[in-house]
Amino acid sequence: MSLSLTFPDGNVKSFDDGVTTKDVASSISISLGKKALAGKLDGKLVDLLAPITADGAIEIITQDSKEALEVLRHTAAFVLADALSQLFPGLRFGQGASTDDGFFYDTDKDNGQVAVTDLEAIKNKMAAIIKAGGKIELASISAADAKARYQGDQFKSQLAANAGDPISGHKLGDFFDFEEGALLPDLKLLKHFDLLSVAGAYWEGKSSNPMLQRVYGTAYFKASDLEEDAKRRQEAKERDHRTIGRDLDLFFVDPEVGAGMPYWMPNGATIRRTVERYIVDREVADGYEHVYTPVAANLNLYKTSGHWQHYREDMFPPMDMGEGEELELRPMNCPSHIQIYKHHIRSYRDLPLRIAELGLMHRYEKSGALSGLQRVRAMTLNDGHTFVALDQVQDEFQKILKLIMSVYEDFDITDYSFRLSYRDPKNTEKYYANDEMWNKSQSMLKAAMDNLGLDYYEAEGEAAFYGPKLDIQTKTALGNDETMSTIQLDFMLPERFGLTYIGSDGEEHQPVMIHRGIVGTMERFIAYLIEQYKGAFPTWLAPTQAVLIPVKNDLHLDYVKMIRDKMVEAGLRVKIDDRNEKMGYKIREAQTKKVPYTVVVGDSELDSATVSVRRYGEDKAWSQSAEMFVNAVKADVANYSRKDARK
């Protein structure tokens, strides 16, 4: 009996039933047979030696294939589980898998979890298993055998119960495991791996389930790639906004007070306040009217908007106020701004009406997803909504986009791209059902981008439930893709809330609503900036812009205070370090705190009315008059630290 296999180039070949991917690869060429690691049958990875018993589309996976690392890392996860089972008898196992940057396995044991101090021993055991040179074989066990094998392990028992009968998996010596995916047939290619960390992970990802201990690792085919990965991870560690936030005393999150509810310390609050003042000033200058609206509203408001129907799982439970009234912590600001619009009768002369707010919102993020300032439950959105007539949409869209790009320039954000996010017309549950609205609004966005001559790419299924949007994707300091800003067209909410304006013809018309966020939430944006600058904020953003150090308090402190007063009068943020510590210690601490300017004043500076100045990250100091220094720092702040203001 024969079967037909279709190759990526469209060619179809016949093979005997039970042929393996290795057989197929070898039939093409001897060298391909040697290079083959696994197969991909109808889009699913299969073992190199797994028999093929039905027609299908096949790809040969080699080290050059994008799926190759997935196979390698899945194999590493298998070997990790084998090593753990040998080192910790009675250990319970959850799931293991490969990921985009490594692999993991979830574990649980009675007498304390697997600890980071165990990683070296586990790694050595994995190396010993690999060196022994055993072959990984396809295997299966009956459901009855699985029940006996995993007795006492409620997690693996549950997985086995859902895996059918018999249970297909892999074995290496006496070790057997079952997880979906392909493994390497032998371990000779698994040479370059490392174990990285341990962290808690809920069983099946549900916070109501037990917490397991997840062991993380990574693996590559080349030693150079593993070394490069280690450098990237070290860079990520050094840029981690949570670590920098702690070291520079910017913010903290205390789960005992409220998980995902950040506290801003004076230093962090100063950075945030500077950003907020900047944003408000830019928006007011661009024609926005800033408002304040309540943090909670009647639940019916969010039922009308559709947020309750579409985002209920991400909203906090309603508060029962009695007598049928339920209040909801707002997950979005748009319904509140709609109420601002509705408060007066509007005319075409009022349009475009631009409303903006630094609006506090609350969303119920799962506890396992919370992370520093990047994923929180309380967030302040740099939010804005413009109400326009239909013929004003394109001009207003372009005006908003130009404002966003100008703000990016001030923050030195240069690596970004544009994504037009459309609905998936097949997903009728997620998206508002109005084909005419979607077609009209999507074509408007596309026309506006084409008119500006900007490059963009289109993404189906990424739109908000009420309309398409332009997402501006930025690259973080670590190369990750992140949505920074959005502009969304909305025909739905004006219709649901019955919004109108009186046109020049004296008739009522429905406005179009444009949602926009320039820098997203303050929390995520500050986290982005912390990592982008590595905590060394440019002068205009730095919580302390200069530290003044007198060599001797009794001789030089009065002069230092005079300089301080001039800087404060100029609106600068400056501190005097007059502690009874050694000069070198004070200078090093100012550098550790990443203060832009460290100023030392001694006898020569006092006699010549000068200061000795050192910039953060530089070894050499220079001398200039106190007046010139103050003016230089003022200029540094005024031009958003774009240039070296000391020259």
Mention every residue, 6+ apart, whose C-beta is less than 8 A from residue 512: 387, 388, 389, 390, 392, 393, 489, 490, 491, 494
Q: Are 490 and 431 in contact (CB under 8 A)?
A: no
Residue 367 sits at the vertex; the CA angle it makes with 364 and 373, to the nearest 5 degrees, is 80
The H or E element containing residue 75 is helix 68-87
Where are the extended beta strands (E) located within 293-437?
A: 296-298, 319-322, 325-329, 353-362, 378-388, 416-422
290 annotated as a binding-site residue: no
For 398, left (φ over 0), alpha (ψ -120 to 50), or beta?
alpha
* Numbers of helices and strands, H then E, in the chain: 21, 32
The DSSP 8-state label assigned to residue 118 in this structure reads: G
Distance CA 186, CA 190 (A): 9
Sheet containing 378-388: order of strands: 289-290, 353-362, 378-388, 512-521, 481-490, 469-475, 416-422, 457-460
Are 80 and 72 in contact by the 8 Å Cβ rule? The answer is no
How does DSSP classify residue 318? P
Q: Is 334 annotated as a binding residue?
A: yes
> 618: closest CA among 643, 598, 640?
598
Distance from C-alpha of 88 to C-alpha of 79, rounded to nearest angstrom: 14
Nearest to 465 by CA among 331, 641, 271, 645: 331
**Which amino acid is it at 274?**
T
Residue 385 annotated as lining a ligand binding site: yes
Cis check: omega of the bond before 318, within 30 degrees of 0: no
Query: With contact defined as beta carbons under 8 Å apart, do 129 and 79 qualify?
Result: yes
Residue 324, both tokens: 């049928």
Judge whether 499 and 387 are in contact, CB under 8 Å. yes
> ω into residue 352 within 30 of 0, thus cis?
yes
Phi-psi region of 563 (alpha: psi -120 to 50; beta: other; left: phi over 0): alpha
CB 365 within 8 A of CB 378: no
User: Residue ranges for the binding site?
Assistant: 334, 385, 515
User: Residue ranges for the binding site for Zn(2+)?
Assistant: 334, 385, 515
